[in-house]
Amino acid sequence: ISTQAAIVGAGPAGLVLALLLQKEGIDCVVVERQSRAYVESRARAGLIEHQIVELLRKHGFSEGMDLNGVPHTTCEFRHGGRRYMIPYGDHVHASHFVYPQQFIVQDLLQLFISRGGIVFFSHPAVKIEGLESDRAVITCTSSENSVLKVECDFIAGCDGFQGLCRSSIPSTDTKIFSKQYGIGWLAILAEVPSSTKKLVYALHKSGFAGQMPRTSQITRYYLECPPNDQLSNWSDDRIWSELGKRLAVDGDENLIQGPIVEKRVLNMRSVVMEPMQYKRLFLAGDAAHIITPVGAKGMNLAISDADVLANALIHYFRSGDEVLLREYSHVCLPRVWKTQEFSDWMIRLIHSNADSDQNKDKDFSDRLRQVRLERLQQTDTYAKLFAESYVGLKQ
C-alpha cells in the first residue's frame, strides 16, 4: 500500500501523530507489532502534564480524560517522619491530570479508527528501505507470515526504545547521550485505593518509596532497589512491609493492602539521540529518547514530539516547504534536555544513592535533601521553579 506518512508504533506518540495528520486530511497508516488488546491494556505512565492536557483538549482528544481523569495540584514529600506538602498547582495556576496511559491509548485508538484511520495490528516492521530515495518502504510481517509493504513519503518512528526505526539510522550520523544512575525501582501495580489522593515521594534511609494513585481502585507503588534486583527477592509480604516502613510518617501509615497485579524492576537510566531524524525518517517519543520515570515525563515528551512532527508534516504537505521538517530536532531537543535536567534534579532529591561518587556520605546527602525540601516549602521562587517543570508549563 502507499501513503503519505507511515507511522511505526501505536503508543501515545504514534497515535497522537496519526490523529493530528488525519484531522488535516493527510493520508497516513499505523503499523503496530502487538495486538490491539495488548496495547490497550499495557499499564505504564499515568500523569499528564498541563501543556499536554491543553493540547489534547485543543484538538478534541480529551473526552475520556476530562470525564475520568483526576486533576492534581499538590504532591507530598516525606522525610524524617515529616510531611512536606507542595501545592505546586497554586504556584503556577495549573494542574496535572492523573489518567492511566492505557486509557489514553484506548481513547486515541477508538477516535482514530472511528474516523476511518487504519492501524495494522500484529504487524511488526522488520525492514526499512529507501530513506535516501524519493519514497521509503517499510516491510512488516504478520502472524500468518504474510508480508505487508508500506510505501510512503515519510516514516515516523514512534516504536519505542526497543523499536526498529532508531537502529535504521547509520550510527555515524547520530550521537547517543546516556546516563545510568545505578538505581533500580521495583514498580508495583496493586488493586487498592491509595492511602491519600496525593502523589507521595518518601525519602527514607532504606531507599525511596512512591505512592501514585492511578484510579480509585488502582495504585502504583515504587520501591528503590538495586538496578539488577531479581523479582524473586520481592514477595508480596516483603513489598507491603517495606512500603509500610518507608512511607510511614508521624510514626504511622494507613497503607491499604491488597492484590499485587504487576511487578517489574526498572533500571534508572536516560538516553537522548541527536539528531532525532535522518532523511525521510523522524523519531518521536521513546524511539528518540528515554527518561527515568522520576517526574513522570516520558509519555508527555512523546506527545509533545508528535505535535511538533505533525505541524512540520502538515506544513510540508500543504506548501511543499521542508523548513519545519529540517528544524524538527532543533525544536524538540531543547525541551527534551530541559526535562532531562529536571528529572536528574529530582533523582538527586529523592535518592541518597544518585551520585556516582564512590565515597558518597549518605548522611551528608540526607541533610542536603532536607534543606531542599524546606526550601520547596518556604521559598516561593524555588517552589515556583519546581512547579513549572513538574506540572509541565510551556517554557
Does 19 participate in binding ligand APR (rule CB under 6 A)?
no
Selected from 28, 31, 156, 218, the binder of ligand APR by CB under 6 A is 31
Q: Which of 163, 160, 185 is nearest to 294 (CA)?
A: 185
Q: Which residues pair with 264 in a beta bridge?
A: 187
Query: Tell me, what amino acid is at 224?
Result: E
Q: How far apart (Å, rounded) are the C-alpha atoms in residues 291 and 178?
A: 10
302/312 with CB nearer ligand APR: 302
SS3 category, 116: coil
Q: Which of 164, 126, 134, 127 is nearest to 280 (CA)?
A: 134
Does 153 participate in binding ligand APR (rule CB under 6 A)?
no
The residues in 84-103 that bind ligand APR, with binding defined as CB under 6 A, are: 101
Selected from 7, 11, 61, 329, the binder of ligand APR by CB under 6 A is 11
Q: How far apart (Å, rounded) are the C-alpha atoms in residues 287 and 292?
A: 14
| Secondary element (H or E) of residue 129 | strand 125-129
Q: How far apart (Å, rounded) are the C-alpha atoms in residues 313 and 328?
A: 10
- Note if 72 is an active site residue: yes
Q: Which of 375, 379, 389 is nearest to 343 (CA)?
A: 389
Stretch that binds ligand APR, among 11-19, 208-216, 265-273, 375-383 (CB under 6 A): 11-19
Shortest Cβ distance from residue 239 to ligand APR (Å)? 21
- Note if 293 is an active site residue: yes
Selected from 9, 89, 117, 295, the binder of ligand APR by CB under 6 A is 9
The residues in 257-316 that bind ligand APR, with binding defined as CB under 6 A, are: 285-286, 298-299, 302
Shortest Cβ distance from residue 126 to ligand APR (Å)? 7
- DSSP conformation letters of 126-147: EEEE-TTSSSEEEEEE-TT--E
Selected from 6, 14, 26, 156, the binder of ligand APR by CB under 6 A is 14
Q: How far apart (Å, rounded) are the C-alpha atoms in residues 221 and 99?
A: 16
Does 49 participate in binding ligand APR (rule CB under 6 A)?
no
Query: Tell me, what amino acid is at 87?
Result: P
Selected from 6, 12, 49, 88, the binder of ligand APR by CB under 6 A is 12
The residues in 154-213 that bind ligand APR, with binding defined as CB under 6 A, are: 158-160, 163-164
Does 56 participate in binding ligand APR (rule CB under 6 A)?
no
- Note if 297 is an active site residue: yes
23/44 with CB nearer ligand APR: 44
Shortest Cβ distance from residue 61 to ligand APR (Å)? 14
Q: How far apart (Å, rounded) are the C-alpha atoms in residues 217 and 8?
A: 33
Q: Which residue among the candidates 84, 99, 181, 201 is catalytic per the annotation?
A: 201
Q: On the CB side of 264, how many CA atoms lie within 13 Å of its CA?
A: 9
Shortest Cβ distance from residue 28 to ligand APR (Å)? 14
What beta strand segments (E) does 162-318 contain? 175-190, 199-203, 209-213, 219-225, 260-274, 277-278, 281-283, 289-290
SS3 category, 394: coil
10/333 with CB nearer ligand APR: 10
The residues in 60-89 that bind ligand APR, with binding defined as CB under 6 A, are: none
Stretch that binds ligand APR, among 26-34, 188-196, 247-255, 265-273 (CB under 6 A): 26-34
Selected from 33, 78, 280, 289, the binder of ligand APR by CB under 6 A is 33
Q: Which residue among the candidates 293, 316, 328, 351 is catalytic per the annotation?
A: 293
Residue 106 burial (CB count, 10 A): 17
| CA 20-334-5 angle, 5° bins | 30
- DSSP conformation letters of 259-282: -EEEEEEEEEEEEEEESSEETTEE
Q: What residues have CB less than 8 Å from 170, skipping those under 6 apart?
A: 278
Stretch that binds ligand APR, among 27-35, 72-80, 168-176, 228-236 (CB under 6 A): 27-35
Number of residues lying near ligand APR (CB under 6 A): 27
208, 82 contact by CB (below 8 A) = no
Shortest Cβ distance from residue 171 to ligand APR (Å)? 19
285/373 with CB nearer ligand APR: 285
Judged by the rule CB under 6 A, the positions of this chain that interact with ligand APR are 8-14, 31-34, 39, 44-45, 101, 124-125, 158-160, 163-164, 285-286, 298-299, 302
Q: List residues with catalytic annotation.
A: 72, 201, 293, 297, 390
